[in-house]
Structure 1
Amino acid sequence: METFESLVRSEFAPKNTFLNTASSGLLPARTTAALHEAAMIRAEGGPLDPLFADVEASRAAFARLVGVPVTRVAAGASVSSQSALVAGSLPPGAEVLTAEDDFASVVNPFHARGDLKLRTVPLERIAESVRRTTALVAVSAVQSADGRLADLPALREAAKDHGARTYVDFSQASGWLPMDANAYDYTVSTTFKWLLAPHGAAFLVVPEDFGDLTPLLAGWVAGEEPWNSCYGPITELAHSARRFDVSPALFTYTGTRSSLELMEELGVHAIHTHNLALADRFRTGLTALGHEPLPAPGSAIVSVPRLGHRQPDLSRAGIEVSDRAGNLRASFHLYNTSDDVERLLEALSP
């Protein structure tokens, strides 16, 4: 039986010190092999049926990872398009509560409506800021810029007490932070970060009764019988959340299936323990160097103020991190080791 470490080593062999999963994760070996096989199917004129089957297998794997029935999962292309779908469900004048400086793909579609009432508060005040007039709270579970975690249990209770719906983006969380999507009205996650899949897939989890969503993006794949829904208006929408699907990028979902299978094999709880141990080790090392990271307890993302300008030099030295809002952002995932932490600390030493 393979251990966590041996399975990771069999799937990843980065040629640099890659600490930038919060931007885009590395592809496992099995995923690149699956993408190559899918490309050969298209090059040789093979049937598309296996690729469409990968979409459904990916949907089912994601549902298992986040703890909901597969019938509640819609397959799309991006967080922004899924946010737009949720934004489109609100009546004019509805109040939407968001966090300051949250990721644009989460909040901008609500601003773009032009006829909603937007309130923005600091992340740490979002639960206490829910009020009777709040229709929806839209927030990232983990902040992209600095790794701070939202107090989701408190938010859930506040929303319940005031009759507000919740829309939570888990893009910077799913894959390393154990989550229960069943606890919220809507959740969304892209897959190319911590879930280690190719770009172009995002999953939206909706309520059993679909909430107030309208399938504004519905094409032929949204029909209960897609291949009989290719022409004219769809006469019968899918009885599941598939009614909110958009036509899938087939290669992407072939890769996504393989990546999600690996995540299930490794286990999110084991990944969580691994990632936090490295992040905490980095925080301790930073303190010893005289640097104070931004407070983000329990996060796999560590941001260091005023060091973002070091990113180009670090990249040239073979260490990949991000510059976000002037901060150096390092993100630790399953393929990272303590050697990666020490290399970055050494590079930051005076």
Structure 2
Amino acid sequence: MDALAAAVVAEFPTLEPGYLNTATLGVPPRRAVAAMREATDAWEAGRPSSDRYEAAVAAARAAYARITGVPVERVALGGTVAQAVGLIATGLPEGADVVVAEGDFSSLVQPFAGRGGLDLRIVPLEAVAEAVRPGTALVAVSAAQSADGRVADLAAIRAAADAHGARVLLDGTQSVGWLPVDATLYDYLVCHGYKWLLSPHGACFLTVAEGAEETLSPAFAGWYAADDPWASCYGPVPRLAPGARQFDARPAYLSFVGAAASLSLIEEIGVAAIHAHDVALAASLRDGLAGLGHAPIAGESAIVAVPGMPQGAEARLAAAGIRFSARAGNLRFAPHLFTTPADIATALAALS
């Protein structure tokens, strides 16, 4: 039994068959549930432990840094994607040219639209790289699209940004955990961990490349962004932390207790192994759907989207115990490390 299969047996013993909905919400491993339950029980008993919470925060930050290939001092903590993106949007100069993909997730796009005073250009995903031009300040794109799973041409986008001096913000919420992502290639990488990293809501990460700190405003810093947080609880913070930690939002402790445990599992199995597993099952599902006369969106993505499914398909899938989602007119399936070939076969049988 390989490491992935052994982990599934040990960490997801009560998971019911048919869960193909990680793009909506990841399933926590047993170790994460146990860690959160223990922390909650201690809190209920009046024995909350700040030291334990802080240890979990540090472990989660370090694990995320290793998973995305950056030094730990490049990782800031957040609560939501929109909050982290808003920090970046606020730092842009008036009239800055910003390129985003059409139909990308609102948490990535709305902070730029809501800020106002920017030249926000919305282009098809396939045209993002060619839309970068002299004077473009920022390209903001999801590595994998939430609505249909398409993976952006990240190499072309990075090359175009380099050619014109633009910065790149990557949203890894629908990719980090199954798609190998090197955060050192981007000025900013934001990722909420509650999907493919199997973590609770509230555990969100932002990597900030060296030199990109100057683009972000310290106006959002609180006591936790201090070099010595517990000595900086009152009045102006005497000194912000070095590196990306100066942009930390106060972490939701219980969320990071769970995230530290979940990320340890991702590391043990390895993103490369998870990628091979997830993409192979997604390819099998696409092939099966095509064989049934459907037309899934092509690509090597762990997210499988099928536009225009016939009436009654959702009811048949639900009756078969398949958990999936409907997004932007597509049926969306998202196999992850705990998905089995039997789950794919059940979904296809329900649609045949």
Q: Do the two structures share a fold, i.e. TM-score over 0.5?
A: yes
Deviations 1:53-94 (A, max 9, x none): 111110000000000000010001010100100101101110
Partner of 2:189: 187
Gaps of 5+ in 2: none
Deviations 1:227-284 (A, max 9, x none): 1110011110011211111111100000000000000000000000001110110111
Partner of 1:25: 26
Q: C-alpha separation between the residues in 1 aligned to 2:115 and 2:7?
A: 46
Q: C-alpha separation between the residues in 2 aligned to 1:307 and 1:326?
A: 9
Q: C-alpha separation between the residues in 2 aligned to 1:215 and 1:340?
A: 48
Q: C-alpha separation between the residues in 2 aligned to 1:137 and 1:25?
A: 28
Partner of 2:75: 73
Q: Which residue among 133, 136, 152 is the counterpart of 1:134?
A: 136
Q: C-alpha separation between the residues in 1 aligned to 2:2 and 2:122?
A: 47
3-state SS of 2:219 partner: coil
Contact 2:17 2:343 in 1 (8 A): no
* Change over 3 Å in CA distance of 1:57–1:308 after alignment to 2: farther
Q: C-alpha separation between the residues in 2 aligned to 1:136 and 1:339?
A: 43
Gaps of 5+ in 1: none
Partner of 1:160: 162
Contact 1:223 1:238 in 2 (8 A): yes
3-state SS of 1:126 partner: helix
Shift of residue 308 of structure 1? 8.2
Partner of 1:327: 330
Partner of 2:36: 35
3-state SS of 1:101 partner: coil
RMSD between aligned alpha carbons? 1.3
Q: Which residue among 173, 179, 196 is the counterpart of 2:198?
A: 196
Q: C-alpha separation between the residues in 2 aligned to 1:39 and 1:252?
A: 11
Contact 1:217 1:245 in 2 (8 A): no
- 1:4 paired to 2:4: yes
Partner of 1:59: 61
**Number of aligned pairs?**
348
Q: C-alpha separation between the residues in 2 aligned to 1:199 and 1:262?
A: 17
The aligned amino acid for 2:27 is L
* Change over 3 Å in CA distance of 1:121–1:2 after alignment to 2: closer
Structure-1-length-normalised TM-score: 0.97
The aligned amino acid for 1:267 is G
Shift of residue 312 of structure 1? 4.8
Deviations 1:292-319 (A, max 9, x none): 1112x11001101112863355234311
Contact 2:316 2:350 in 1 (8 A): no
* Change over 3 Å in CA distance of 1:149–1:39 after alignment to 2: same
Partner of 1:265: 268
Deviations 1:202-245 (A, max 9, x none): 10000223141113321110110101110011110011211111
3-state SS of 1:200 partner: coil
- 1:122 paired to 2:124: yes
Q: Which residue among 294, 298, 303 is the counterpart of 2:297?
A: 294
The aligned amino acid for 1:60 is A
Partner of 1:106: 108
3-state SS of 2:138 partner: strand
Q: C-alpha separation between the residues in 1 aligned to 2:310 and 2:96?
A: 38
Shift of residue 182 of structure 1? 0.2
3-state SS of 1:329 partner: strand
Partner of 2:172: 170
Q: C-alpha separation between the residues in 1 aligned to 2:28 and 2:300?
A: 25
Shift of residue 341 of structure 1? 0.4
**Identity across matched positions, percent:** 51
The aligned amino acid for 2:55 is A
- 1:223 paired to 2:248: no
Contact 1:300 1:332 in 2 (8 A): yes
Q: C-alpha separation between the residues in 1 aligned to 2:276 and 2:155?
A: 21
Shift of residue 332 of structure 1? 1.0
Partner of 1:236: 239
3-state SS of 1:128 partner: helix
Shift of residue 7 of structure 1? 1.5
Structure-2-length-normalised TM-score: 0.96
3-state SS of 1:97 partner: strand
Shift of residue 2 of structure 1? 6.2
The aligned amino acid for 2:328 is A
3-state SS of 1:293 partner: coil
Shift of residue 322 of structure 1? 0.5
3-state SS of 2:145 partner: coil
Q: C-alpha separation between the residues in 2 aligned to 1:67 and 1:18?
A: 29
Q: Which residue among 127, 147, 150 is the counterpart of 1:148?
A: 150
Q: Which residue among 312, 332, 342 is the counterpart of 1:339?
A: 342
- 1:256 paired to 2:259: yes
